[in-house]
Amino acid sequence: MRLAVFDTHRYDRDALEKANAGFGHALTFFEPRLTLQTARLADGFPAVCSFVNDRVDAATLEVLHAGGVRLVAARSAGYNHVDLETARRLGIRVTRVPEYSPHAVAEHAVALVLSLVRHIPRAFSRVRDWNFSLDGLVGFDLAGKTVGVVGTGRIGRVAARIFRGFGCRVLCYDVAPDAGFERETGVRFVPLEELFSASDIISLHVPLTPSTRHMVDGAALARMKKGVVLVNTGRGALINSRALLAALKTGHIGGAGLDVYEEEEGIFFQDLSGQVLQDDTLARLLTFPNVLVTSHQAFLTHEALANIAETTLASVTAFERGEPLVNEVRAEQVIRAPPASR
């Protein structure tokens, strides 16, 4: 099947071409993101492959549908960039990659924590200037600290196990607490308010839904311990960035590790080094020595890229053959969890 692949970089192409040896689809790669302005590039293609920061809204879907597209295969776990209601109305099927490498994202979250609590970025910058002083680099042990893991899907569970391996006390929050996971690992499921107030480190691993948007707002940040380290490898809009900025300015938040940002569209995955960053909130966040931002790279391992490519192309094959789409996302199937910030 002819597949138009948008928002591609070299690592995407390499992984998809390698995986496609076992599928035989006709892949056409486009560097631009899939938006209303670029949707006509897919004219004549029965399927398109989108990425997490594409904008597959109602207007874009109308153009895609008019051009013959009947499948949107998102090579991401997140799907909030696709207007599922419009896709349903137009008869366009939507698939995603619900699971690729939970270890990739969980390990990146822990790497952000370690980098922050041991001041690794600051130490790295200092020694490159021949400054070998240790002043200002005092960190703290993870062993014995309380870590709050918000969301215990596959990624959250791996993160919880890793933190337990460091000797941490792990509190978990999920809309569906799992007593078996508690018994197996020694973690404890608690209400979100208790997790926020009791944790020294908090790591977010929930999807973005209407009820989880800004689950970390000003009120939630105020409940947290002074000096808490907050890490987000989930979705950017889980955190109200302006509220986080305010909490950092007062010193209430000890550190923030962000692999995602709520206004990252058009910024992350791009080389803007020759431009002036127009997002004032992100620019201000980047000035804090206790803030570490990575550009949505938590998924970026060889293993995860291979799994993403394999799963995406398998969905395209199933669609071509008229087989059930095991990774399909439908508007009526989207589960909206109860509000998590109350």
By annotation, the residues acting in catalysis are: 235, 264, 296
Distance (Å, whole) CA 269 – CA 161: 30
**Total length of the chain:** 342
Residue 341 tokens, joined: 């910030």
Distance (Å, whole) CA 263 – CA 265: 6
The torsion defined by the Cα of 7, 11, 14 and 20, in degrees rounded to 10, comes to: -60
Nearest to 101 by CA among 89, 93, 109, 113: 109
Distance (Å, whole) CA 160 – CA 171: 8
Phi/psi for 101 (5° steps) reads: -130, 95
Residue 71 tokens, joined: 């499948």
Nearest to 284 by CA among 336, 247, 233: 247
Strand partners, 27: 3
Distance (Å, whole) CA 144 – CA 332: 44
- Specify whether the backbone of 107 is left (phi greater than 0), alpha (psi in -120 to 50) or beta: alpha
State the burial class of residue 288 (Cβ atoms within 10 Å of its Cβ: 0-12, 13-18, 19+): middle
312 and 77 Cβ atoms separated by less than 8 Å: no
Distance (Å, whole) CA 334 – CA 258: 26
Please list the alpha-helical segments (H only) found in 56-212.
58-66, 84-90, 102-117, 120-128, 154-165, 179-185, 192-198
The one-letter amino acid code at 299 reads: F
Sorted by sequence, the CB contacts under 8 Å of residue 26 that are 6+ apart come out as 1, 2, 3
